[in-house]
Amino acid sequence: MEQFVDLARRILAEQLDLDPQEINMDTKLEDLDADSIDVVEMIMALEDAYDVEFPEEGLESLVTFGELVTALYEHLEKVKNG
């Protein structure tokens, strides 16, 4: 999971022009001024990197970076494990 989180952090930081170290698992997306487009773009980049499609339902209710990447990673694990 660590590699997945690191990649997500780097992608989001690049999109928002931030230092990746400013983003931790407890960081609220709104505190980063990340809007839904930023989140969707991060998800699309992760989909490309992992050749998977993430569901969009329920993601809008996630508040922190950690909640978001955990939900995405759990879906990735389900897909990988059949």
Which tokens is 73 given?
A: 């990673």
User: pTM of the predicted model, to two decimals?
Assistant: 0.89
Q: Is 38 a catalytic residue?
A: no
Model pLDDT, residue 36 = 87
Which tokens is 19 given?
A: 């230092």
Model pLDDT, residue 18 = 96
Q: CA–CA separation, 13 vs 15, rounded Å? A: 5
List, for residues 10-63, the tens digit of each pLDDT value.
999 999 999 999 999 999 999 999 988 999 999 999 999 999 999 888 888 889
Q: Which residue among the candidates 35, 38, 48, 51 is catalytic per the annotation?
A: 35
